[in-house]
């Protein structure tokens, strides 16, 4: 049903790269990428995000931040965002994609995933666990 998934956050250097890589591990046969509504274009993953992900056996190597836009939105069957404000931003940038855009935390009682940018490693750890759990639930729903 969903052969391609785009994971979206704000800067595309913390949350969405983690979600992208976790979903790629769950669905190696699908096209899974990430972008940001206010991407820090061209930057690698945040060092704290990379460190915490690495502690969990997940590599964010070779990630490069990409700006979300309407042409990118058209390439994906499902767009997963971190916050309700991202739902609005995605809908504003690409109105036709509203029907295929959902919160990554949808199966976590519509929970938003907070931005850990410039916060402590503990904040990144907490966010990593939320993203991991949300991705596990999406994997169950999309395969079951």
Q: Which residue out of 9, 14, 24, 33 is catalytically annotated?
A: 9
Q: Which residue out of 98, 111, 115, 133 is catalytically annotated?
A: 115
Average pLDDT for the chain: 97
Beta bridge partners of 33: 6
Would you call 15 a catalytic residue per the annotation? yes
Q: What is the DSSP letter of 69?
A: -
Superfamily (CATH) of domain 4-143:
Response regulator (3.40.50.2300)
Sheet holding 78-81: strands in order across? 31-36, 4-9, 78-81, 101-103
Residues 123-135 have a mean pLDDT of 98
**94, 73 in Cβ contact below 8 A?**
yes
The domain segmentation of the chain, as residue ranges, is: 4-143
Q: Which residue out of 15, 24, 33, 46 is catalytically annotated?
A: 15
The 10s digit of each residue's pLDDT in 54-85 is: 999 999 999 999 999 999 999 999 999 999 99
Would you call 9 a catalytic residue per the annotation? yes
């Amino acid at each position: 049903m969903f052969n391609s998934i785009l994971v979206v956050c704000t800067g595309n250097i913390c949350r969405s790269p983690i979600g992208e890589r976790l979903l790629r591990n769950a669905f190696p046969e699908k096209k899974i990428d990430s972008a940001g509504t206010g991407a820090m274009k061209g930057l690698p993953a945040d060092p704290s995000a990379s460190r915490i992900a690495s502690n969990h056996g997940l590599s964010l190597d070779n990630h490069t931040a990409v700006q979300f836009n309407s042409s990118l939105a058209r390439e994906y069957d499902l767009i997963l965002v971190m916050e309700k404000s991202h739902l609005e931003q995605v809908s504003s940038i690409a109105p036709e994609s509203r029907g295929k855009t959902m919160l990554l935390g949808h199966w976590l009682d519509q929970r938003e995933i907070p931005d850990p940018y410039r916060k402590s490693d503990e904040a990144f750890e907490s966010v990593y666990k939320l993203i991991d759990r949300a991705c596990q639930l999406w994997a169950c729903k999309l395969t079951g």
